[in-house]
Chain A
Amino acid sequence: KAGVTQTPRYLIKTRGQQVTLSCSPISGHRSVSWYQQTPGQGLQFLFEYFSETQRNKGNFPGRFSGRQFSNSRSEMNVSTLELGDSALYLCASSSNTGLGNTGELFFGEGSRLTVL
């Protein structure tokens, strides 16, 4: 069974640009969550999608957005990049119970974004 796939793995952007990151979950998983990982802040929750609907959202500005497609693949977008957006962006998929995902997340290897 293929794991969670994130693309691209590495990218470099300049301030003011925008970026789109992609995530393909494990087959059969309908919940996808995104996290930002930085040395100072650890893992910060961005958002969670289930069946194309945003179910939870973290405390990030509106420059951070996401969506999920009917095949459960997800994308996140960051517009007007700032230096502080440099981070490892992790996607995780999960199976679901009626009350939300089970908490057992399967992570991809991440997309490392550097903003110059």
Chain B
Amino acid sequence: GNSVTQMEGPVTLSEEAFLTINCTYTATGYPSLFWYVQYPGEGLQLLLKATKADDKGSNKGFEATYRKETTSFHLEKGSVQVSDSAVYFCALKSSGDKIIFGKGTRLHILP
């Protein structure tokens, strides 16, 4: 079945550091890929998405590229801020199927 694997956290970085959170997937067909973010005490919210191979999703300085050849959708940001501290979830959806989430990666940014 479909699955998502993302790097375990917590990830701790200093402010202005470069961020990468790895995500790989297993799926039949051509799924859509997503990154969701959960700030403390809140529900999840969509951060960015990509619907086909080589698409790049971007939002709030975060980027992720849909790599079919490596079945990956790594999340990157060039310069993180304290306000980026949150839990990040990689997710996929195949046509007509439910959305599958990874287990989440907790990110701590130190001032």
Query: Interface of A with B (CB < 8 Å)?
Result: 4, 33, 35, 41-43, 45, 48, 56, 58, 90, 92, 99-101, 103-110
- CB-defined contacts of B36 to chain A, threshold 8 Å: 105
Instruction: Judge whether A100 and B103 touch: CB under 8 Å.
Output: no
Instruction: Judge whether A109 and B43 touch: CB under 8 Å.
Output: yes
Indicate whether B46 reaches chain A with its CB closer than 8 angstroms.
Answer: yes
Instruction: Judge whether B34 and A45 touch: CB under 8 Å.
Output: no
- CB-defined contacts of A45 to chain B, threshold 8 Å: 98-101
Partner of A99, one of B45, B91, B96, B104: B96
Partner of B98, one of A4, A41, A48, A109: A48
The chain B residue with its CB closest to the CB of A100 is B96
The chain B residue with its CB closest to the CB of A46 is B98
Distance, CA A47 to CA B24, complexed state (A): 24
Quote the shortest CB–CB distance from B36 to chain A (angstroms): 8
Interface pairs A-B: 7 shortest CB-CB: A107-B43, A42-B103, A103-B93, A43-B101, A56-B98, A107-B44, A100-B96
**Contact mask for chain B residues 86-110; partner A; CB cutoff 8 A; 1 contact, 0 none:** 0001010101111111111000000
Quote the shortest CB–CB distance from B30 to chain A (angstroms): 12
